[in-house]
Amino acid sequence: EAEVAQSPRYKITEKSQAVAFWCDPISGHATLYWYRQILGQGPELLVQFQDESVVDDSQLPKDRFSAERLKGVDSTLKIQPAELGDSAMYLCASRSDRGYTGELFFGEGSRLTVL
């Protein structure tokens, strides 16, 4: 069964360093989301792509976060420089545009620890 792939699963970095996360959505899913989940909280949307275009990045801290999906398939989320408060799980999700009924398919997530 097709699944959303994310890497790395775990990342430990020191503050002020750069980190990057990669996501490969389910084949054929044009819409891709990056969510951030701080421990004890629910997922919060950072950015949404439709193909290679950003649809919603209103909650993305653009001074340090960037996201791209150059060919409309896989996507990269970057943080530079990382801060202590960025420690969280970064979740990628994708969905089909055909007959969308609210089901997002999530990856396993990338857990970031900033020291």
Partner 1 sequence: AQRVTQPEKLLSVFKGAPVELKCNYSYSGSPELFWYVQYSRQRLQLLLRHISRESIKGFTADLNKGETSFHLKKPFAQEEDSAMYYCALKGSGNTGKLIFGQGTTLQVKP
Binding stretches for partner 1 (CB under 8 A): 3-4, 31, 33, 35, 40-45, 48, 55-56, 91, 93, 95, 100-104, 106-109
Q: CB of residue 16 vs partner 1: minimum separation in angstroms?
A: 30
Q: CB of residue 6 vs partner 1: minimum separation in angstroms?
A: 10
Between β-strands 10-13 and 5-7, what pairing exists: parallel, antiparallel or unpaired?
unpaired
SS3 of 86, please? Answer: helix
Q: CB of residue 17 vs partner 1: minimum separation in angstroms?
A: 28
Amino acid at 97: D
Query: Cβ-count burial of 85 within 10 angstroms (0-12 exposed, 13-18 middle, 19+ buried)?
Result: exposed
Q: CB of residue 61 vs partner 1: minimum separation in angstroms?
A: 17
Distances (CA, A) of 83 to 2, 17, 35, 42: 34, 8, 17, 20
Instruction: Choose between 22 and 106: whose C-beta lies nearer to partner 1.
Output: 106
Instruction: Choose between 79 and 91: whose C-beta lies nearer to partner 1.
Output: 91
